[in-house]
Amino acid sequence: MILRRELETRDERRTRGRALRGAVRRRENADWLAAPGRRDPIDILIRQGESRIAELLPIRYGRMQTSPLAFLRGAAAVMASDLATTPVAGIPVQACGDCHLNNFGSYATPEGIAVFDINDFDETHPAPFEWDLKRLATSLVLAGRQAGASSRGARDLALSAAHAYVAEIRRLAGLSPLAAWYTRIDLESVIEAIPKHRVRTHLQRRFSQQIASVRGQFGIVDHGRLPRLVDRPPLIERLPSHDETLRAAFARYVAQLPPERRMVVERYRLRDIVFKVVGVGSVGTFCALGLYTTEDGQSLILQIKEAQHSVLEPYTAPSDFSNMGERVVTGQRVMQAASDVFLGWTRSQGTKTQTKDSAGAGREFYVRQAKDSRLASLSEQIEADLLDVYAPLCGRALGRAHARSGDTALLSGYLGRGRSFSDAIASFAVLYADQTERDYKQFIAACEHGRL
């Protein structure tokens, strides 16, 4: 589904947005009650696991057992099914699809500027704007509970994220489309805005150290003239049976790059491939690192990751893209303020009509540069130590991302000043966090009794 805007004035679109309040009142977003005949969350996970690498599923389920928040991270398909039963105003955006607090972070732009943004797009797909915000708010309530916050404190995290989202939409609705498109959140300005007594000095010192030299995080061992990536089984290891499949997929990726980027990559040679387990919800999909080096030893590490159909697609419209890797790449370019110049997509041998096999045939992938974990650790520290700062930061980043595809004037008209809407989102988040905790208990029982 391609998002299109009506060619109307800003005031006309804002008026249409206000009119939508009559069809779906903003306070209706507070409601959550499991629908009669709600799909069994364990069945959803089992079905999802059928297309994953079976040997890695125990790692996925083990990570999901850590906490209700970890379960939520791995259960995007469950929440998508539930969100499809909730009221929406009918304002579509390019949605993240797996919008929880751990899928935001800091990274360097191609110019070396550290920014804060959404950083995971595996589930991106056009969808109602409310879905991303409700998932983010729920994850913040669960994170607050996990950190020992009071019921009021956990709810306030969701409330502050929703407030920040509305404020960003209202701000961007007043800008020209081009100015809104180029808006970004500089990490340095975020750190400078933190009150000095709240570890700002320490963060500024770390920021200066990390941004001075942004490098990859993976170890490289030079075996004579054969550079190699370091094994760290079972999370980073070689799987020889898949090596040929991935080398062919990498070659297809390079071949379809735009000429000016292909000529850069072709100055490197693919030397080594290792599989890497990443995240929670992604565990079990094909994900590997390719080490490219020049003859002089300079390195480039690319990540190739399997792209499956978005968990949102069954409840919206079919994807416009025949390759799910292209879906992810396009969604990322739409939503992110600054995307990796080496983003691309590819597929393994076989066709979409063929059944995906254990060796990787018939699968689709996207490719990007490997992330720098040391720069990302700065935003992770804000999340860990300053959750009340991190929550509105995520809300602001989500508003900025939605503004690139959504109609900000229409959204602003519907949201208004956002007090009733934000309160409703926070109320939903508390109710759905309760639902997630019930599902989590069911999940733990399913693991203990061998159903998973």
414-430 confidence digits (pLDDT tens): 999 999 999 999 999 99
Sequence-distant (6+) residues with CB within 8 A of 370 are: 216, 217, 218, 289, 301, 302, 303
pLDDT top residue among 123 and 241: 123
The DSSP H or E segment spanning 287 is strand 287-293
Q: 345 pairs with which residues across the strands? A: 366
**Cis preceding linkage at 36, omega within 30:** no
For range 128-148, the mean pLDDT: 98
**Which of 242, 304, 298 has the alpha carbon at shortest distance from 269?**
298
Sequence-distant (6+) residues with CB within 8 A of 176 are: none
pLDDT band, very low/low/confident/very high, at 285 (cuts 50, 70, 90): confident
Q: SS3 sequence, 39-90? A: CCHHHHHHHHHCCCCHHHHHHHHHHHCCCHHHHHHHCHHHHHHHHCCCCCCC
Residues found in the chain: 452
Evaluate if residue 216 carries a pLDDT over 50.
no
Tell me whether strands 344-347 and 287-293 are parallel, antiparallel or unpaired. Answer: unpaired
Residue 170 has which token pair? 């209202």
Q: What is the pLDDT of residues 300-348, one digit of tens each?
A: 999 999 999 999 999 999 999 999 999 999 999 999 999 999 999 999 8
pLDDT band, very low/low/confident/very high, at 353 (cuts 50, 70, 90): very low
Average pLDDT for the chain = 89
**The predicted structure's pLDDT at residue 109:** 84
* Helical H segments across 212-336, by residue range: 240-256, 259-265, 324-335
For range 147-162, the mean pLDDT: 97
Residue 344 Ramachandran class (φ > 0 left, ψ -120 to 50 alpha, else beta):
beta
Evaluate if residue 355 carries a pLDDT over 50.
no
CA distance 255 to 249: 10
Q: SS3 sequence, 151-185? A: HHHHHHHHHHHHHHHHHHHHHHHCCCHHHHHCCCC
CA distance 347 to 358: 15
**The predicted structure's pLDDT at residue 146:** 96
Share of residues in the chain with pLDDT > 90 (%): 69
DSSP state at residue 420: H
